[in-house]
């Protein structure tokens, strides 16, 4: 058996995930070559993939393509290509990487990516994405529909907001009928929503297993791996099957007391996406201290389900609208984001919070200085604030990042030692 | 005699401190060398010079802790710690009432909240930008053709400090040239430069509770103009030890002594951290 590095997930789920994602790219390649199945570009957060599933259409997630490039150390070339035609250095690097890919004809796997039949901008929380998808539509000549999803300023969305989104979703249905030439299959839609609800339940149960000590998986680094199938296959039986297997594997780990490390020393909550161009380096900085993420806000970008929300096959349109309006972290207001972190720290029994500020994502990162103050001063929980980027390798300074992380754990370690001594 | 050492390999200079514990802890010797391109060599030189000054052989040193950016390049070190931990501990050693450290080095500016035992409670550092660091001052000195040691005293003579709008280490040059072209006095320009850095540093430092006593550490603490500017913006006096530049190395040496005492058991000391076998 080959030697397994300590920071690698030990189990079969990651391989199954790779196979599923490869299959997705193969379907996209097929769509590029033959024109079928139909495809639509979507953004991850608060997506309405269930509608596509009802038409047998396959989602294209430009963010997944961008991060796949970054993790393969290939994001700088398309970023520079986008900057050459006028995108500013501080524009969202996901946008630049994606636009640069169109300009350069680059794809993460080397296979073909289809021209989307529909560019469906499910804008939630990030208005940069509106421009991104508008530019994508211009570059590809594809049809564009921009869903207008009101930002969640209150605790819950109003009925008017839900009705407003549902009306738009029904317009998308009409649009998809004309694009695909197929009549909307309500039963298939309901079934897709049912699959989503089941996947959400399974994913939620997996996340709750991280409350245990040791946690059977890293709810940041390992969760990211599981997030691919979560977005692409959520509304499908394959997704349900995958997450059933994942939950079973996690339970086996729990039963045998297997954690991420031989000894879990620190339990963390992480806010913000990782620096994908240095994913492995970044992970190893935490592994060195045997620090395991037990919860992460980034893993709720696609959907926030660990606190009970689910899609509802009895009210499919309304539940898709609710998901878009309130059950994803990017459309939620800061006080809700504070509460989410607070619950993770308390209920998942974490020692500290790591905030990764993303340079090229001002929308999501703005306010994280206040978040740091809230967590350190109001909750009294140690917090580390580090800055780089999720896609642009030029923003990552390894020595400085390592220094901050080492200093944080030196401090945390001392706090634990003195707490024990008292 | 129980002897330990701390070596702080900074971006500009490398500092070594040899310390003994004989009833109480005391510093036997210090050494300072330019870091230059060969980090490993600089660390070795500083250590050997410090040992020589202390009148002991390097083999008599029981434990060495490395700190600073080059800490993993110290071939003879027994353990490594970040300079954040070491500055807190070093400041506590020279001034036990320290509750906040403001450290300004060649490429870093940081503020550290310190507990009563010298441990780090919280810290903030500058972003990947040299604004508010020694490098900013060095650039300003360069463009004005004034020695780095002179800029501080000269800035104290400012009567009408200019406003330096930028905190960018590169763009400050054009600001300065523009003021020189307008015939502004060197001391007024430098007064503005020091004030700009002080404001920038304190906007960062205010993210931790700036509780007294505040101790300034790092090479920039030798600059009287910078100390003055920071105190003016802070509205309070700071502790500035004559050993300000050596605080990181002192903290490392204190940790090294503690390790010898076995009073500090921690994974910081686990074997994979030790890059050398010691002496």
Query: Distance between CA B224 and CA A110 in Å, rounded?
Result: 60
Residue A400, chain B, CB below 8 Å: the answer is: yes
| Interface with chain B: mutation pick from A392, A406, A412, A418, highest number of B CBs within 10 Å | A406
Helix-, strand-, coil-residue percentages of chain B, each rounded to 5: 45, 20, 35
Helix or strand (DSSP H, E) at B87: helix B83-94
User: What pLDDT does residue A26 have?
Assistant: 95
Q: Are residues B251 and B166 in the same domain?
A: no
Of the spans A251-260, B19-28, B261-270, which averages the highest pLDDT?
Answer: A251-260
Q: Is B235 left (phi over 0), alpha (psi -120 to 50) or beta?
A: left
ipTM of the complex in this document: 0.81
B54 contacts B39 by C-beta, under 8 angstroms? no
Residue A87 has which token pair? Answer: 């995108």
B30 contacts B246 by C-beta, under 8 angstroms? yes
Q: What is the CA radius of gyration of chain A?
A: 21
Residue A372, chain B, CB below 8 Å: the answer is: yes
User: What pLDDT does residue B35 have?
Assistant: 92
pLDDT at B208 over 60: yes
Q: Are residues B155 and B188 in the same domain?
A: yes
Q: Are residues B201 and B265 in the same domain?
A: no
Give the residue ranges of chain A where pLDDT is below 50: 1-4
CA distance A56 to chain B (A): 47
Q: Are residues B159 and B213 in the same domain?
A: yes
- DSSP letters, B46-82, are HHHHHHHHHT--GGG--EEEEESTTGGG-TT-SEE--
User: What pLDDT does residue A6 have?
Assistant: 56
CA distance B121 to chain A (A): 7
- Whether B123 sits inside 8 A of A400 (CB atoms) is no
Rounded to a whole number, what is the distance in angstroms from the first to the last CA of chain A?
A: 45
Taking the CA atoms of residue A170, residue A172, residue A177 and residue A183 in that order, the dihedral angle to the nearest 10 degrees is: -30
Largest CA distance in chain A: 72
pLDDT at B94 over 80: yes
Residue A88 has which token pair? Answer: 């500013």
Which CATH number fits the domain that encloses residue B116? 3.30.420.40
Burial of B235 (0-12, 13-18, 19+ CB in 10 A): exposed
Provide the pairing of β-strand B109-114 with B120-125: antiparallel
Q: Are residues B262 and B170 in the same domain?
A: no
Q: Are residues B104 and B236 in the same domain?
A: yes
Structural domain count of chain B: 2
Which CA distances in Å does A293 have to A210, A254, A257?
Answer: 9, 16, 17
Q: Are residues B16 and B76 in the same domain?
A: yes
Residue of A nearest to B272 (CA): A288
Q: Which of B69, B117, B123 sits opposite A407 (nearest CB)?
A: B123
| Interface with chain A: mutation pick from B267, B268, B270, B272, highest number of A CBs within 10 Å | B267
Residue A406, chain B, CB below 8 Å: the answer is: yes
Q: In 10 A of CB A171, how many CB atoms? A: 12
Confidence of residue B263 (pLDDT cuts 50, 70, 90): very low
pLDDT at B271 over 70: no
Residue B196 has which token pair? Answer: 């700009």
User: What pLDDT does residue B279 have?
Assistant: 31
Residue B116, chain A, CB below 8 Å: the answer is: no
User: How large is the average pLDDT for residues B72-79?
Assistant: 85
Helix-, strand-, coil-residue percentages of chain A, each rounded to 5: 55, 10, 35
Residue A289, chain B, CB below 8 Å: the answer is: yes
Residue B125, chain A, CB below 8 Å: the answer is: yes
Residues 6+ apart with CB under 8 A from A2: none
Chain A CB contacts of B84 under 8 Å are 403, 407, 410-411
Confirm whether B278 is domain-assigned.
Answer: no
- Whether A399 sits inside 8 A of B69 (CB atoms) is yes
For residue A372, say if its preceding peptide bond is cis, omega within 30 degrees of 0: no
User: What pLDDT does residue A110 have?
Assistant: 86
Query: Considering only CA atoms, which of A131, A50, A45, A64 is closest in space to residue A326?
Result: A45
- Whether B121 sits inside 8 A of A418 (CB atoms) is no
B195 contacts B164 by C-beta, under 8 angstroms? yes
User: What pLDDT does residue B40 have?
Assistant: 92
Residue A23 has which token pair? Answer: 């299959």
Average pLDDT of chain B, as a whole number? 88
Q: Are residues B121 and B208 in the same domain?
A: yes
CA distance B84 to chain A (A): 6
- Whether B125 sits inside 8 A of A404 (CB atoms) is yes
Query: Considering only CA atoms, which of B264, B252, B132 is closest in space to residue B198?
Result: B132
Residue B224 has which token pair? Answer: 């009287």
Q: Are residues B196 and B82 in the same domain?
A: no
Burial of A333 (0-12, 13-18, 19+ CB in 10 A): middle
Residues present in chain B in total: 279
Q: A68-100 burial by CB neighbour count: b if 16+ within 10 A, else e?
A: bbbbeebbbebbbbbeeeebeeebbbbbbbbbb
Q: Are residues B80 and B115 in the same domain?
A: no
Q: What is the pLDDT of residues A217-257, one digit of tens each?
A: 999 999 999 999 999 999 999 999 999 999 999 999 999 99
Domain ranges of chain A: 13-421
Query: Considering only CA atoms, which of B84, B141, B75, B132 is closest in space to residue B109?
Result: B132
User: How large is the average pLDDT for residues B49-69?
Assistant: 94
Residues 6+ apart with CB under 8 A from B98: B88, B91, B92, B114, B118, B213, B214, B215, B239
| B 18-77 near A (Cβ less than 8 A) | 69
CA distance A278 to chain B (A): 16
Q: Tokens 């490398």 belong to which residue?
A: B14
Range of the domain at B23: 2-89+246-273
pLDDT at B125 over 90: no
Chain B CB contacts of A395 under 8 Å are 128
- Whether B123 sits inside 8 A of A417 (CB atoms) is no
Confirm whether B279 is domain-assigned.
Answer: no
DSSP β-bridge partners for residue B14: B9, B33
Tell me the residue ranges of DSSP E strands in chain B.
2-9, 13-22, 24-34, 63-67, 79-80, 100-104, 109-114, 120-125, 214-217, 239-240
Helical residues (DSSP H) of A257-360, grouped into ranges: 279-287, 316-326, 334-347
Query: Distance between CA A171 and CA A169 in Å, rounded?
Result: 5
Chain A CB contacts of B83 under 8 Å are 403
pLDDT at B277 over 60: no
| Interface with chain A: mutation pick from B128, B208, B266, highest number of A CBs within 10 Å | B128
- Whether B128 sits inside 8 A of A403 (CB atoms) is no
Cα dihedral sign, B179-B185-B189-B190:
positive
Residue B265, chain A, CB below 8 Å: the answer is: yes
């Amino acid at each position: 058996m080959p030697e397994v590095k300590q920071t690698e997930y030990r189990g079969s789920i990651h391989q199954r995930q790779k196979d599923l994602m490869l299959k997705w790219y193969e379907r996209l390649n097929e769509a590029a070559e033959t024109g079928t199945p139909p495809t639509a570009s979507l953004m991850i957060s608060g997506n309405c993939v269930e509608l596509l599933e009802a038409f047998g259409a396959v989602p294209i997630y430009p963010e997944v393509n961008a991060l796949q490039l970054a993790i393969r150390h290939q994001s700088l070339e398309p970023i520079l290509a986008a900057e050459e035609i006028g995108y500013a250095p501080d524009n969202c690097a996901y946008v630049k990487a994606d636009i640069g890919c169109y300009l350069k004809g680059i794809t993460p796997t080397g296979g073909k990516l289809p021209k989307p039949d529909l560019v469906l901008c499910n804008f939630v929380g990030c208005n940069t994405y509106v421009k991104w998808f508008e530019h994508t539509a211009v570059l590809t000549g594809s049809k564009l529909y921009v869903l207008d999803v009101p930002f969640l300023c209150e605790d819950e969305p109003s009925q008017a907001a839900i009705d407003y989104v549902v009306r738009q979703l029904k317009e998308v249905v009409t649009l998809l009928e004309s694009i695909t030439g197929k009549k909307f299959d309500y039963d298939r839609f309901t079934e897709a929503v049912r699959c989503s609800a089941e996947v959400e339940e399974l994913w939620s149960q997996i996340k709750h297993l991280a409350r245990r000590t040791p946690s059977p998986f890293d709810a940041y680094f390992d969760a990211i791996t599981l997030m691919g199938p979560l977005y692409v296959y959520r509304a499908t039986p394959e997704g349900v099957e995958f997450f059933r297997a994942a939950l079973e594997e996690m339970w086996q780990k729990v039963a045998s007391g297997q954690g991420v490390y031989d000894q879990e020393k620190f339990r963390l909550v992480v806010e913000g996406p990782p620096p994908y161009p240095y994913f492995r380096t970044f992970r190893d900085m935490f592994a060195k201290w045997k620090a395991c993420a037990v919860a992460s806000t980034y893993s709720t970008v696609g959907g926030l389900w660990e606190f009970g929300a689910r899609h509802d096959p009895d009210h499919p349109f309304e539940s898709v609208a609710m998901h878009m309006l309130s059950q994803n972290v990017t459309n939620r207001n800061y006080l809700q984001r504070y509460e989410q972190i607070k619950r993770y720290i308390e209920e998942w029994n974490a020692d500290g919070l790591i905030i990764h500020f993303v340079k090229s994502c001002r929308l999501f990162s703005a306010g994280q200085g206040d978040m740091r103050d809230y967590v350190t001063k109001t909750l009294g929980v140690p917090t580390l604030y580090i800055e780089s980027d999720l896609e642009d390798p030029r923003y990552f300074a390894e020595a400085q990042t390592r220094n901050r992380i080492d200093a944080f754990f030196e401090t945390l370690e001392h706090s634990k030692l003195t707490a024990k001594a008292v | 005699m129980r002897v330990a050492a701390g070596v702080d390999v900074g971006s500009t200079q490398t500092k070594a401190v040899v310390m003994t514990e004989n009833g109480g802890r005391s510093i036997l010797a210090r050494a300072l060398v330019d870091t230059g391109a060969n980090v490993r060599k600089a660390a070795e030189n500083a250590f050997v010079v410090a040992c020589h000054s202390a009148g002991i052989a390097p083999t008599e040193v029981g434990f060495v802790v490395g700190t600073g950016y080059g800490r993993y390049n110290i071939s003879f070190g027994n353990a490594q710690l970040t300079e954040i931990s070491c500055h807190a501990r070093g400041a506590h050693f020279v001034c036990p009432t320290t509750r906040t450290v403001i450290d300004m080095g060649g490429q870093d500016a940081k503020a550290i909240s310190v507990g009563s035992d010298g441990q780090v409670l919280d810290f903030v550092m500058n972003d990947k930008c040299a604004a508010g660091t020694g490098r900013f001052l060095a650039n300003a000195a360069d463009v004005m053709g004034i020695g780095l040691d002179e800029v501080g005293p000269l800035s104290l003579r400012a009567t009408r400090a200019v406003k330096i709008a930028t905190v960018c280490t590169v763009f400050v040059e054009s600001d300065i040239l523009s003021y020189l072209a307008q015939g502004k006095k060197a001391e007024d320009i430098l007064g503005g430069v020091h004030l700009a850095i002080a404001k920038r540093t304190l906007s960062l430092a205010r993210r931790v509770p700036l509780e007294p006593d505040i101790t300034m550490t790092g090479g920039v603490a030798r600059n009287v103009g910078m100390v003055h500017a920071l105190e003016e913006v802070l509205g309070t006096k700071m502790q500035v030890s004559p050993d300000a530049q050596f605080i990181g190395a002192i903290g490392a040496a204190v940790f090294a002594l503690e390790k010898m005492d076995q009073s500090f058991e921690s994974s910081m000391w686990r074997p994979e951290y030790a890059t050398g076998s010691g002496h």
